[in-house]
Chains A and B, each alone.
Chain A
Amino acid sequence: MVDGWFTGDGDDFRLLGTRCAACASVFFPREDVHCRNPGCEGGELAEVALSRRGRVWSYTDCRYRPPSPYVSDRELPWEPYALVAVELEAERMVVLGQAAPGVGVGELAVGMEVEAVPGVLGEDPGDAGTVWTTWNWRPVEVSA
């Protein structure tokens, strides 16, 4: 769908943004042409991996099927999914994403720690075998 927004598998999975070499501003989705800080004369925009973990800024869900261009199988009943806005401490920014499958609004709370994990957006109905990948936010398991 869009290249260069995330990379890696398993524990190595990271969202990718860019960082301005002059002012340290971070951009996600990646900004590859101009630094958007109005007070910055502009430096090189270098790819940077974002923090893997953050805290829930807020969350909600989609109880109704979103319209196109969201792709979903209209033959199947609609299964609501949650969306999570996550605050990344180092980058001082909030990034929205779908929650990992099985994580509903009942499993979420503002301030909870979550991590970015690989996810599947869907399969291309017109081109069998093409799987669109994405990022998901999943609550971090609390270790005993």
Chain B
Amino acid sequence: MTTEVAVLGAGMHPWGKWGRGFTEYGVTAARAALDDAGLDWRDVDAVVGADTVRGGYPGYVAGATFARALGWQGARVTSVYAACASGAQAIDVARARILAGLSRVVLVVGADAAPKGFFRPAGGERPDDPDWLRFRLLGATNPVYFGLYARRRMALYGDTLEDFAAVKVKNAALGALNPHARYRARVTPEEVAASPVVADPLRLLDICATSDGGAALVLAGADFTRAHAESRPVRIRAVSTLTPRYPTQVLDLPDIATDSAAGVEPSGEPLRTAIVRAAYEEAGIGPEDLSLAEVYDLSTALELQWYEDLGLCGAGEGAKLLREGATALGGRTPVNVSGGLASFGEAVPAQAIAQVCELTRQLRGEAGERQVAGARVGIAANQGLFGHGSAVVVVR
């Protein structure tokens, strides 16, 4: 029985605003991943698509949409939606099929053609939808939540605007080295400070853009990998996709309020920490084992929060860790060496898959100028709308 899942291929469509359909981005990424694996599309026995909700019906049935564009060949098919965690959930489904012995080779694809400016809920009068309500009643965009977290960190831990800007400076310098990134120019602290405020205290350059993009992985079980004579064995050792535990204590997208702790004592472990802990436990590793991490830097301030959630430092010590250079390329645990969402922007169903593409390249030693020396263990972590969060541990 197969106990491990290998990444045989990783492929991406460059991020940007290309003005084309999401299917094209996904198919480009899928073909790149198949090429990377040295496999033909007809070798794939299952395809899992991460859905986009901005593509109409074809976007809601992404698995079949990509399969049709690649050429119907009778593969098993699944489509999954979990907002920003969609890509990780697609990987989770593919991995579970392989571990259960239901599939040998699975293609995972996510792609999106994002709108300009703020994300917004689907149209119509829908007061039963919390996402619709937060926009209609409060005008609370995604950056509003990032602003709340940032201001809270400033009050609690003394983080400064300069600390936030330093995250952008770090990630932009790394994105400049990544040919798949949308933004490939270095950024100075002065440029961050001069950019307009979007949601106090965060400025335009503190917040990730919306982008088009696509990413894909070819996954297979140990038997197939051996038979395929794969010489670059990168394996997925854990995928945790969890919900929060009642009662939540941190106001999260898209909610207007947290749960009340009047009836139940909170567990004390917020969702992001729980996601990471579950992944560490499943993989049998700890933060000290990490060679690198890819996290959702939806805002600069949120990246600092992730350092703490990953256990790289204690609560409130994120900015200190950054200032010490521990999370820069060459530091103890580089974070977002791909350039992060700061350099890519959000292509929602693709980004968690893109994180694993980056980990794969890094663990194979194929990351060029942004290579983390001797990388052996990486984690990718994300959090999605409506209480989804995931972490993926990849090892060499």
Instruction: Using CB atoms and an 8 Å cutoff, list the residues of chain A in contact with chain B.
Output: 1-2, 19-20, 23-29, 36-40, 57-64, 66-72, 81-83, 85, 90-98, 105, 109-111, 121, 134
Closest 8 CB pairs of A and B: A60-B147, A110-B155, A25-B263, A92-B261, A66-B139, A26-B260, A23-B263, A58-B152
A93 to B247, CA, bound (A): 9
Q: Is the CB of B251 within 8 A of A67?
A: no
Which residues in B have their C-beta under 8 angstroms from that of A26? 260, 262-263
Interface flag for B69 (CB, 8 Å): no
B148 touches A58 (CB 8 A): yes
- Tell yes or no: B188 within 8 A of A by CB: no
State the CA gap A128–B236 with chains docked (Å): 59
A83 to B249, CA, bound (A): 18
Give the complex CA separation of A120 and B118 in angstroms: 24
Distance of A134 Cα from B140 Cα, bound (Å): 14
Cβ of B187 under 8 Å from chain A: no
Taking the nearest CB of chain B, how far is it from the CB of A53, in angstroms?
Answer: 16
Cross-interface CB contact of B261 among A29, A39, A85, A93, cutoff 8 Å: A93
In the assembled complex, which residues on chain B have CB atoms less than 8 Å from the CB atom of A81? Answer: 139
Compute how far the CA of A66 lies from the CA of B238 in the bound complex, rounded to whole angstroms.
Answer: 38
A39 CB → nearest B CB, Å: 7
A68 CA to B125 CA, complexed, in Å: 11
State whether the Cβ of B96 lies closer than 8 Å to any Cβ in chain A.
no
Q: Are A60 and B256 in contact (CB under 8 A)?
A: no
Chain B interface, number of residues (Cβ within 8 angstroms): 47
Q: Is the CB of B262 within 8 A of A63?
A: no
A63 near B198: Cβ-Cβ < 8 Å: yes
> Given the complex, which residues of B lie within 8 Å of A70, measured CB to CB?
135-136, 138-139
Tell which of A81, A93, A105, A121 has the most Cβ of chain B within 10 Å: A93
Contacting residues, chain B, for A40 (C-beta < 8 A): 263
Q: Report the nearest B residue to A56, measured CB to CB.
A: B155
Residues of the B chain whose Cβ atoms lie less than 8 Å from the Cβ of A66 = 118, 135, 139-141
The verdict on B127 contacting chain A, using a C-beta distance below 8 Å, is yes
- CB of B102 within 8 A of chain A? no
Which residue of B is nearest A60, CB measured?
Answer: B147
- Mask, B247-283, CB within 8 Å of A = 1, is 1010100011111111110000000000000000000
